[in-house]
Structure formats: structure tokens, C-alpha cells
Chains A and B, each alone.
Chain A
Amino acid sequence: MSFMSSASNFFTSKVSDALGWARKYSIFQYPFVTACCGMEYMSTAAGHYDVDRFGAGFPRFSPRQSDVLFVVGTISHKMAPVLKTVYDQMCEPKWVVAFGVCTCTGGFYDNYATVMGIDTIIPVDIYIPGCPPRPENVIDGLMKLQDKIQKGEQSRTLYDPRTKIGRPTHLQQGYTISQHIKNIESPS
């Protein structure tokens, strides 16, 4: 009996390994491109850097056919419900990549219009900060995403700005205008 159970464990883990391997080399991505990062995204996707080498060369412009949501560029509060709808329309399993510092933390847009990090709205798997990130950076993020897909890991949690849980610590130290003004008024 114990032999049978360990054998079945052995086979399930082998099957999930194989599934992960297949998924990580056939990433169907949905590029949600809103701003200047889109240019860097295009240069990464095009021939010179060529994300097709990683099996991610096939963008789908329908959320129902895609596995990875690439959020590329600033998300405004007016756009936020649209992004959430697109995420909800994607089939499981799904992953989200925050491309550029605006999607990671809001970047320097500390104002009335901008969402301070899309991880307050949808769960984010991979953060690629940079303004914009260089193609090498993007490919590094893509390879980290492939590792996550291989392991079958998915992010399920949102970032809570009050408790500061759910976002990598190095992305929590963004320098915003309100901090800048605070530092001018009362230098530490």
C-alpha cells in the first residue's frame, strides 16, 4: 500500500513537472500596454532580443486565450476597473507581470490620477521595475516567471498599503512627492 501511494505521488509529481515544463515554454501573453513602457516591451519582443527564444513570442489579444497578463505602463484610477475585468476574464492557471515601475509602485506619479501599484488591485507574480526596464531586465523577469510556472506557483494575495504586506520590500521604499515634501519640512 505504501509502495502504491509513493508510486502515485511519484507519478503526479512527474505529471505536474511535465505540465510545468510545457507551460513555461508556451507562454501566451496578453500585453496590457498603456504607456511608454510599451516601446521597451516591443523592442524586447522583436527580433533583436526575441522573447520567442523563451516560448513567449505569441501575444494573444484576448484575455480568455492567454496565460500571462503583462501590465505594461501606468494604470490610472479610471483604467483600474478595466484591468480588473481583463484579469477576471483570464482562465486558470494565470500569472501577472508588472512591467515598469509605474505598475510596481506607481513610480513618481504621486497624484490624483494614478494607481500606486497594480498589486493593490490584482495579484502580481513578477515585478520588473525600471523606467522603463531594459530588455535584459525584462528577459530576467521572464526567466523568473518561467521558474514560477515550472514550480506551479501563483500569487494569490493583494498588497495592503496599511500593513505593507504583499509586496517585495525593495519596492516599498519608493520615493514619492509626499515623502519629499515631508523631508523638506522636517529633515530627519
Chain B
Amino acid sequence: MTSLQRVQEKFSKEIIETHAFRGDETVILHPGALRAIAQFLKETPELDFNFLMDLTAVDYLNFGECSRSARFEVVYHFYSLKHNHRLRLKVPVAEENPEIDTLSDLWVSADWYEREVWDMFGIRFKGHPNLKRILMYEEFQGHALRKDYPFNKRQPLIGPMN
């Protein structure tokens, strides 16, 4: 029984879609179920996803034919050091109120990843202990990796605008 099947069995209602292209197991789920599923992934002995490898986001603005219902998607990559298996979670996040639950209390590494996603995409993480910019400076306006941020717009701290 793969980890994807275990998650599907337990959370059939909260899951929007799944796929497993060449063994890359992916679960797309409703934002409300994120914490429950994450806790399940971490605490079930057969899954034991003790390593959050990556946490990032995608902005699907002007994505053409593949346009999504929600503008953003937060992506989690989990890995189990014990069982050597992986799982990807994707959570759609709406543009109007880009907010999602934090996982920083379950995986400590999520702390900085979530700060990065807040910095670059402006997605807030409910319950994060210290949600402030991590890469850009505090004076920076806007979020640089949003597709509607002009790609060469600069906000210099010193020196001319160039």
C-alpha cells in the first residue's frame, strides 16, 4: 500500500485530485484539511514523513489555457528518511485572502520556508510565530515573485533608481 493510497483512504473527502506520474505521488487538497493531513503524514508510523524537503508556491496568474480556479498554489515536498519515500502536497490558495495554516510547529524547517513564501508571494501563514520578510528588506513594497510585479522594478535603499 503506497502512502498515496493511505492518504486517499483516510481523507477521501478533503482531496481534490491525486496523480502519481512515474512514482511521483501528488495530492491536491482543500486548504482546510492541510493540518490534519500533515499531522497524519508525520505521525503515522507506516508513513513517517519526518523531513519537509521543500515548501514553495506557484503563481498561476495569466497561465493561459491551464488557468486555475485559485491564483496561488502552495507546494509541499515530504520525504521519509526511514522508509525512503516521498509525497507532494498541493494546496490552492485564493487571491482575495491568501492565507493558509502554518506547519512550522510540526516541521521546524517550515518556519523559514513560510517566511520566504510570504516574502516572495505574499501568502500569509496562520499561526506562524514570526512571519516577516526573510530575503528582501523591510522597506520593500510588494512581493517580488508575483507575476504582476514588474520584473525589473527596483526599490533601492541607496543610490539612484536605475
Contacts and interface: CB of A to CB of B under 8 A. Distances in A.
A186 to B, nearest CB: 17
A116 B136 CA distance: 17
B137 to A, nearest CB: 5
Interface in A115-135: 115-117, 120-121
A12 B59 CA distance: 66
Instruction: Report, as a range, how many residues of chain B touch the other chain.
Output: 10 to 19
A156 interface: no
B152 A78 contact: no
Contact of B162 (A78, A111, A161, A177): A161
A112 B156 contact: no
B156 A80 contact: yes
Interface in B108-162: 135-137, 144, 149, 151-162
B152 A111 contact: yes
Interface string A71-110: 0000001101100100000000000000000000000001
Contacts of A120: 159-160, 162
B115 to A, nearest CB: 15
Given A78-B137, A112-B149, A113-B144, A121 B159 contact: yes
B160 A77 contact: no
> Could you tell me the dominant secondary structure of chain A's interface residues?
loop
Interface centre among A117, A120, A177, A178 (most CB of B within 10 A): A120
A110 B137 contact: no
A177 B156 contact: no
A80 B159 contact: yes
Contacts of A77: 137, 154-157
A78 B136 CA distance: 7
Contact of B155 (A81, A112, A116, A117): A112
B159 A177 contact: no
A77 B160 CA distance: 11
Contacts of A121: 158-159
Given A77-B137, A78-B136, A111 B151 contact: yes
Contacts of A116: 154, 162
A116 B149 CA distance: 19
A160 interface: yes
Interface string B72-106: 00000000000000000000000000000000000
A121 B154 CA distance: 15
Contacts of B144: 111-113
A112 B157 contact: no
Nearest to B161: A161
Interface string B34-66: 000000000000000000000000000000000
25 contacts: A77-B137, A77-B157, A78-B135, A78-B136, A78-B137, A78-B157, A80-B156, A80-B159, A110-B152, A111-B152, A112-B144, A112-B149, A112-B151, A112-B154, A112-B155, A115-B156, A116-B162, A120-B159, A120-B160, A121-B158, A121-B159, A161-B162, A176-B152, A177-B152, A178-B152
Q: Which 7 A-B pairs have the closest CB atoms?
A: A161-B162, A121-B159, A120-B159, A112-B144, A116-B162, A78-B137, A77-B156
Given A112-B151, A176-B152, 4 more contacts: A113-B136, A117-B162, A121-B159, A160-B160
